[in-house]
Amino acid sequence: MQFLLLAYDGENKLEKRLEVRPQHLANLPRDHVICAGGLLTEEGQMKGSAMVMEFENGAALDEYLRTEPYVVAGVWEKITVEPMNVVIAKEAS
């Protein structure tokens, strides 16, 4: 199954996000990531994350989120997950 994950940082969490980012990137299960990137404010500062991921089921995604460094460190305050059907995916350049 494919999922769209939108995760929004809590207020004043940019410094914490930058501190935890290396652990977030190291923990990211790249074999499950279709695409991922930061959500930005109009000023270009990170305010959250957007990821399209593929897991066997929602329980497997929940297990990943249980150990996600941004979750554990309290960076992400609000997370929404929607099942998704990826039809077109551009190859990374």
Summarize pLDDT for 25-60 with one digit per residue, the tens. Answer: 999 999 999 999 999 999 999 999 999 999 999 999
What share of the chain in percent tops pLDDT 70? 98
Mean model confidence pLDDT for the chain: 95
Quick check: pTM over 0.85?
Answer: yes
Asked if the structure places residue 93 within a domain, the reply is no
Q: Are 11 and 74 in contact (CB under 8 A)?
A: no
Q: Which one-letter amino acid corresponds to residue 40? A: L
Residue 32, domain CATH:
3.30.70.1060
> CA 88 to CA 93: how far, in whole Å?
15
Asked if the structure places residue 92 within a domain, the reply is no
From the list 54, 23, 21, 55, the residue with the least C-alpha distance to 38 is 21
* 3-state DSSP assignment of residue 88: coil
Supply the range of the domain harboring residue 68: 2-84
